[in-house]
Homo-oligomer: A and B are copies of this chain.
Amino acid sequence: MVEGDLREYILDLLASRSVNLEEIVDLVYFLQKDMQPGLTKEECRVSIMRVLSKREVQYALLVGIQLDILAEKGLVEEPLLSILREDSPLFGIDEVLALAITNVYGSIGLTNFGYLDKQKIGVLARLQHEEQELKGQVHTFLDDLVAAVAAAAASRLAHRHGESR
């Protein structure tokens, strides 16, 4: 599967996990609008699409979302199954994969990732709510990965904005 196709596959995969592109656009716009007056949602969308075309990002998303799905289906062995289902605050491998995503655009994305992940803004609050309310739904990796994609897309915009000045 070539890289461009893989990006389409991942957008479909995100949609199948109830995350659509416009929700990530909203996060990027929220993070970056004050730093970059005149920023449009279309620019945010383009930036996300560029982030999603990076192989490291694609692989982190594939692995994390697959683990969520396998945990939902009960195909993961114990004790990992319980750890994933409970989204234990001491489990840090979701942050490890998220970091692999933000790092592609340098370390300035770290702060935005942490902020989104803690504040549970927008789609991230919905994902957490679904996980807590809907029995059996696992979003242990998904919320961190979505926050990381948004943070990376904001970093990319910041770097490009810095260059154009």
| A contact residues vs B (CB 8 Å cutoff) | 1-3, 6, 9, 35, 54-56, 59-60, 62-63, 66-67, 69-70, 75-77, 79-80, 83, 88-93, 95-100, 103-104, 106-108, 110-119, 158-159, 162-163
CB distance from A136 to the nearest CB of B (A): 18
CB distance from A98 to the nearest CB of B (A): 8
6 contacts between A and B (CB under 8 A): A91-B108, A93-B100, A95-B107, A110-B117, A112-B114, A113-B114
Copies of this chain held together in the complex: 4
A55-B106, A95-B111, A114-B111 as given contacts; A90 in contact with B2, CB under 8 Å: no
Contacts of A158 in B (CB 8 A): 89-90
Closest B residue to A69 by CB, please name it: B77
CB distance from A73 to the nearest CB of B (A): 9
Contacts of A77 in B (CB 8 A): 66, 69
CB distance from A114 to the nearest CB of B (A): 1
